[in-house]
Amino acid sequence: MLILRAASSLTSLLIFTTIFAAVRVAVAIRHIYLPPDAERLWSFYAQVFIACGVYLDRKGRGLSLPFEFEAFVFFGWPLFLPYYLYKSRGARRGLAMTFATFFVLFFVPATAQVIVRVM
């Protein structure tokens, strides 16, 4: 049951990223730039969704990690998320998920905005 909750947390992150990408595209169509606070807010929510997903996934898998590992993930997710994915899923699958996470979170919204600006 907890693995389903973890999947729903990561699905929420994917939906949130899609909405943010759509907002970036809409703003780019009007030739307006997002304020820096919007980027920081998106980053904060992404960190929350990732930490919640790790917490629920860890509990569902019964994986034993250091106390308050999710706090480490929240504050330093580019370092600790790949470690968690490696520990929970192995080298091959963990690295693939790490690449997919970075791709979706960073490249999709920015690429969509650049494509619209170029057009």
| pTM value > 0.95 | no
pLDDT attached to residue 7: 61
**Which tens digits make up the pLDDT trace of 8-67?**
666 777 787 788 888 888 887 887 877 888 878 888 888 888 888 888 888 877 888 887
pLDDT score at 75? 93
89: tokens are 């899923």
Choice between 10 and 92, residue whose per-residue pLDDT is larger: 92
Report how many domains make up the chain. Answer: 1
What pLDDT is attached to residue 77?
83
pLDDT digits (tens, 9 = 90+) for 5-18: 556 666 777 787 78
Domain that holds residue 112: 2-118
Is residue 105 within 8 Å of 18, Cβ to Cβ? no
